[in-house]
Structure 1
Amino acid sequence: MRVLHLAIAASFLAGAAAAECGEGRLELRGDWGTARFRVEIADTPQERAVGLMHREHMASSAGMLFIYEHPQRVSFWMENTLIPLDMVFMDASGTVQRIHQNAVPLDRTPIPGGNDIQYVLEVNGGMTDTLGITIGSEMRHPGVNQDIAVWPCE
Structure 2
Amino acid sequence: MALSGAAQAQATPASSSQACRMDEVVLSGPSVSARFSVELADDAGERALGLMNRPEMAQSHGMLFVYDTSGPVAFWMANTLIPLDMIFVDRRGVITKVHERAVPLDRTPISGGNAVFAVLEINGGLAGAMGISVGDVLRHPAFGPEAADPCD
CA separation in 1, counterparts of 2:18 and 2:74? 30
What is the TM-score when the length of structure 1 is the normalising length? Answer: 0.90
| Structure 2 unaligned residues grouped into runs of 5+ | 1-6
Question: Do residues 94 (structure 1) and 93 (structure 2) align?
Answer: yes
SS in 1 for 2:111: strand
How many residue pairs get aligned? The number is 145
CA displacement, residues 88-147 of structure 1 (integer Å, 9 cap, x when unaligned): 00000000000000000000000000011000000000010111001000010011122x
> 5 Å matches for 1:62-141?
62-141=61-140
Q: 1:122 is aligned with what amino acid?
A: E
Instruction: State which of 140, 146, 149 in structure 1 corresponds to 2:147.
Output: 149
Report percent identity of matched pairs.
48
Q: What RMSD in Å do the two structures reach over aligned CA positions? A: 1.4
Q: Give the structure with the larger helix fraction.
A: 1
SS in 2 for 1:12: coil
Higher relative contact order structure (alpha carbons within 8 Å, sequence separation ≥ 6): 2
What is the TM-score when the length of structure 2 is the normalising length? Answer: 0.91
